[in-house]
Structure 1
Amino acid sequence: MARIDHYNDPHAPQPNSIVPAVSVIVRDETDRLLLIHRTDNDLWSIPGGAMEPGESVRQAAVRETNEETGYDVEITGLVGIYTDPNHIIAYSDGEVRSEFSICMTGRITGGQARTSSESSEVVWQPLEQLDALDIHPSILLRITHVLDTSRKQPWLS
């Protein structure tokens, strides 16, 4: 299913749903970020997606990371809760969501890189080369927050 991410767009469609979602920022020992090239909007992103009934936030984060990257992760912390009403996600089936995402940090515990129906590429991207990729501003905000070592509290929006 295709999607369009609207951000600060006065012409964005009105939301008709809100779905709890998770995302996970994983860095390796050389400080590279685990990123996927999404198949639904053709943007680069951290792994993540909607929670399923019966899942905890932690379980959803572990499942989504594995589904999209092939890696098993352990959740190690909370980056923040992102609920920007100016970020609207429109799907090809007519669903239009307001952003609601809980972003966590994680550590690889196993698995190996592989793509999925949701990810056409899985890469370890050096931080200094992030600007070479087309990454949505809402994902860049999460990455900025995790890299800000002066932050003492999770982001709440």
Structure 2
Amino acid sequence: MRRLVGTEPLMVAGATVLCVNERKELLLQYRSDADIWGLPGGVMEYGESLEETAARELHEETGLLAGELQFIRILSGPEECHTYPNGDQIYGVTSVYLARTTIGTLRITGESRQLKYFPLDDLPSSLVPKARRIVNELNPEWM
């Protein structure tokens, strides 16, 4: 698709996961492509549901298999416009899911330099703005 449109904006559907441990700490990944902390997630592949996208991305980026995924909300609008370092632009429509239980152990992949659980009141300052918006709008009852 990028060969056809270059860096022009594309509308992209995706999912992100709020993965919390038993201490209600939030899993973040230090992204290798942007040198910043963010939430596991990514773009939907053809034939996937958004929930399947969330589960796949969590596994690909962290090594964890999600237990039940709880739908939280959809993010869309002008604040979901993003320009990547290579100049590609997207307008995202992102489903946010919560995973309270996971199976497996954390595993660093090519997309991450570090994976770490953080208390919600002590998140790193270098957090992707989208992730900060999601966390700031969290209802404590969801956790």
Unaligned runs of 5+ residues in structure 2 are 1-6
Looking at structure 2, the residues matched to 147 and 125 of structure 1 have their Cα atoms a distance apart, in angstroms, of 17
Residues 1:129 and 2:119 aligned together? no
Looking at structure 2, the residues matched to 67 and 139 of structure 1 have their Cα atoms a distance apart, in angstroms, of 19
Kept in 2, the 8 Å contact 1:39–1:118? The answer is yes
Give the structure 2 partner of residue 88 of structure 1: 81
Give the structure 1 partner of residue 134 of structure 2: 142
Residues 1:40 and 2:33 aligned together? yes
Give the structure 1 partner of residue 53 of structure 2: 60
Per the alignment, in what secondary structure is the counterpart of residue 65 of structure 1?
Answer: helix
Give the structure 1 partner of residue 91 of structure 2: 98
RMSD: 2.0
Equivalenced residue count is 136
- List per-residue Cα deviations over 1:72-113 (Å, max 9, x = no partner): 112431221111313322235542101211111113331111
Per the alignment, in what secondary structure is the counterpart of residue 128 of structure 1?
Answer: coil
Shift of 1:17: 0.2
Normalising by the residue count of structure 1, what TM-score does the alignment of the two structures yield? 0.77
Kept in 2, the 8 Å contact 1:21–1:102? The answer is yes
- List per-residue Cα deviations over 1:110-143 (Å, max 9, x = no partner): 111111111111111112211x331122211211
Normalising by the residue count of structure 2, what TM-score does the alignment of the two structures yield? 0.84
Q: Which residue, 11, 15, 23 being the options, matches 1:30?
A: 23
Unaligned runs of 5+ residues in structure 1 are 1-13, 151-157
In the TM superposition, structure 1's runs of 4+ consecutive aligned residues that sit over 6 Å from their partners are none
